Copies of this chain bind each other. A is one copy, B any other.
Amino acid sequence: MNKIVFLIQCPDQKGLMAGITDFFAKRGYNILHCQQHTDLQQGRYFMRIAVDMQDLKSSRQELEEQFGTFAEPLSLSWSVHYTDQVPRIALMVSKTSHCLYDIIFRQKEGDITCSIPLIISNHPDLEYVSDQFRIPFYCLPISKENKPEQEKQVQQLLKKHHVDVVVLARYMQILSPEFLEACPGSIINIHHAFLPAFQGANPYRRAYERGVKMIGATAHYATADLDQGPIIEQDVVRVNHELSPQGLRKVGKDVERQVLSRALQAHLEHRVIVSGNRTIVFSHEK
């Protein structure tokens, strides 16, 4: 069943819910799912509302214009998503395959709805995965000298392939602020630690040295501040003294791939709203 999903945020005010649901009811839409959140700290209101696409009697543009007219006096910030438009994602990787495989696998199984027009890597190592699943693979090596040039090539690929979401599936490079700004869609990164613990390099080695009893992973939107972007999903796994740094790395891979896939799924299902440096992640509807 196809849906139209609106993500809305605005200053909290009386009558929002009745007003918004009335907008859709008056136009004959069946509301399939509606979730709200009021942030009392900030005085802001957030809503995700999904209606039945079959009830769309006008053009999409018309609907959007009508909602825009409705939204303006209420100061709503909003975006609209049609589930018959399958999002296009680019997977950026370096040398480790666990996150890459996990996303491709879930996409094949129908658990993540997207198309994957390309894989980009700074190393040739994972080309065999793209062969297995017949996804075009672009190897763009990076060095101190060619970084701006390489990032430009990446941007061109993203544009050419109409990419909506870039997934840094263990792409072990720091993207420049210029890249981040120029990037047309969202960028989701996986950090192999429970942020804000162990930001930056070598988190497993540092987790070992600190002697923590759980290790974790964090999926977040990439921003100009390294490992500081809004967190979408986190998880941890219990460890003990028997695990070396290398052992932590092995155990951590399972958490990394799950956290990244869950975050990507939430994003692709239009369940995430960013508010400052925090996210509202609405729950499933399956």
Contacts and interface: CB of A to CB of B under 8 A. Distances in A.
Interface string A18-52: 11011011100011111111111100000000000
A255 to B, nearest CB: 11
A234 B212 contact: yes
A244 B240 CA distance: 22
B243 A40 contact: no
Interface stretch (A59-67, A149-157, A159-167, A193-201): A193-201
A286 B244 contact: yes
A54 B57 CA distance: 40
A100 B176 CA distance: 39
A125 interface: no
Nearest to A210: B196
Instruction: Please classify the interface of chain A as helix (H, G, I), strand (E, B), loop, or mixed, using the class held by over half of its residues.
Output: mixed
Nearest to A14: B30
A280 B213 CA distance: 10
A183 interface: no
Contact of A101 (B14, B101, B230, B253): B101
A284 interface: yes
Contacts of A253: 109, 111
Contact of A195 (B19, B212, B243, B286): B212
A179 interface: no
